Chains A and B, each alone.
Chain A
Amino acid sequence: MDITLQVNGLPRTVDVDPRMSLLDLLRERLGLIGSKKGCDHGQCGACTVLVDGRRANSCLALAVAMDGSEITTVEGLANGDELHPLQAAFIEHDAFQCGYCTPGQLCSAAGMLGEPGPSAVTPDVLVDPDLTPEEIRERMSGNLCRCGAYVNIVSAIAEVAR
């Protein structure tokens, strides 16, 4: 089936097998290897991209169902040579080791910063909370990091959130 997506600002029209995930479309057909496959079941977050500005697990999205969507991957975060503040902060805070979860962490953090409202640890759901380390940790828990870089990931995001 033919579908058209905006990927990192560029229109892409692709003929896809309905079985193909958005993640496989990005990685195998569009050569955008930044989005990672860690589990293929929405359990690790390595595939996180922004779909119409909101973070989503691209492994659980069928490419056909994304027709007409605007996709931002980690390759689209920087402004030319100028890194996105999250990317720069991740480098400065050593917020990654192997780097495999990193694109998903970055896209997730970029989406998360645009998600006000309460989280599971917010004391009062009526009040939009400040992004304390505890709030960041809860909101970033959909992105597993087996190297255990969470402490640095949280400090990197906290710096950008300030």
Chain B
Amino acid sequence: MKPFEYARAGSPSDAVRRFRPGTMYLGGGTNLVDLMRLGVARPERLVDVSRLPLDAIEPVGDRLRIGAAVRNSDLAADPLIRRRYPMLARAVLAGASGQVRNMATVAGNLLQRTRCAYFQDVSRPCNKRRPGSGCPAIEGDHSNLAVLGASDACVATHPSDLAVALAALEAEVHVTGPGGDRIIPMPGLHRLPGDAPERDTVLEPGDLITAVELPAPPPGASAYRKVRERASFAFALVSIAAVLDVRDGVVSGCRIALGSLAHAPWRAERAEQALIGGPATGEAFLEAAEAELAQARPLPRNAFKVPLARNLIVNTLEELAP
């Protein structure tokens, strides 16, 4: 690990004031310390934001505001979250381990980096880690990498479960930074790799996430399901966050977000549009899933994700349908 300076921020504005090139914000550390030890992250300065007073979960009208420093375990255990956004609790509980969830923050969860083997190994090329060095995953191990929205430069996936649920719930990410405050609607925080895979998100240098705000829960039934070959403590092969509202046999509302298929949580808008106004039947769900996945561009070793995602969409919606 490269030597670095360490400072604890007193407030969000203090954190931003301390930001200079080479600075990184330290939350729970569960991914940043990991990446520093691998030599993937090489900050000159850490500004510790883990103890900022951003650790409350509080209602704002019919919305719910989650502080950026709320620990994942506290988020999942919160009575309001469990009652109003059970799918969100499920997504958080599906991630990592009990001890990691005790440490990891909401903002840190959203900003975790891909688990692509090449990204994590500084002795191998990676366009995300070293732009222009190449993407060996396309010819090599991409078995758990992207089938949607990838580019010739990068086929990484985003590993967060939380982000998938937030994408379905249309949460807003509150950011402060050198350029002032702004609000980013999910899934807009994360971007597709294009020709700049080094950028996971739309955040600018020095930006600090201060909160995530949830709109009132959408009507209908919701679910989060994560598929993995190890029964726990594993990143998803595919995950889904879904909300389905059926009135008189007709789909009046539907939201589907997919995880581990793309560089960002993937809102299945084509599938949603195909379903809304139509019948809530298995055939309709299958058609919608296939409409969405027609965009998939699988590689030889991750082609299984397409039928897996299709099955998962259909099965999840069938379970949610009345």
Q: Which of B76, B86, B100, B226 contacts A142 (CB 8 A)?
A: B100
B41 to chain A, nearest CB (A): 12
CB within 8 Å for A120 and B90 given contacts A42-B34, A55-B98, A126-B83: yes
For B96, the chain A residues whose CB sits under 8 A away are: 42, 142
B196 within 8 A of A: no
Q: Assess whether B90 is in contact with A125, with CB atoms less than 8 Å apart.
A: yes
A42 to chain B, nearest CB (A): 6
Closest to B95 in A: A120
Q: Assess whether A54 is in contact with B102, with CB atoms less than 8 Å apart.
A: yes
| Per-residue B-contact encoding for A57-77, CB less than 8 Å = 1, 0 else | 101111011010000000000
A19 within 8 A of B: yes
Closest to A54 in B: B102
For B320, the chain A residues whose CB sits under 8 A away are: none
Question: In the complex, A120 Cα to B28 Cα: how many Å?
Answer: 21
Q: Assess whether A120 is in contact with B103, with CB atoms less than 8 Å apart.
A: no
Closest to B94 in A: A120
For B83, the chain A residues whose CB sits under 8 A away are: 126
Interface of A is mostly: loop
A100 to chain B, nearest CB (A): 17
Q: Which bucket holds chain B's interface residue count? A: 35 or more
A141 within 8 A of B: yes
For B94, the chain A residues whose CB sits under 8 A away are: 120
Q: Assess whether A117 is in contact with B76, with CB atoms less than 8 Å apart.
A: yes
Q: Assess whether A18 is in contact with B6, with CB atoms less than 8 Å apart.
A: yes
For A35, the chain B residues whose CB sits under 8 A away are: none
B11 within 8 A of A: no
A12 within 8 A of B: no
Between B86, B96, B232, the greatest number of chain A beta carbons within 10 A of the residue's beta carbon is seen for B232
For B77, the chain A residues whose CB sits under 8 A away are: 115-118
Q: 6 closest A-B pairs (Cβ-Cβ)?
A: A142-B97, A141-B232, A117-B77, A18-B6, A120-B93, A141-B233
Binding site for B on A (CB under 8 A): 1, 17-19, 21, 40-42, 45, 48, 51, 54-57, 59-62, 64-65, 67, 108, 111-112, 115-120, 122, 125-126, 137-144
With contacts A60-B33, A62-B29, A120-B94 known, what are 14 further pairs, Cβ within 8 A?
A19-B3, A40-B37, A42-B30, A42-B100, A51-B102, A55-B99, A61-B33, A62-B26, A65-B50, A108-B99, A120-B226, A125-B82, A141-B231, A142-B233
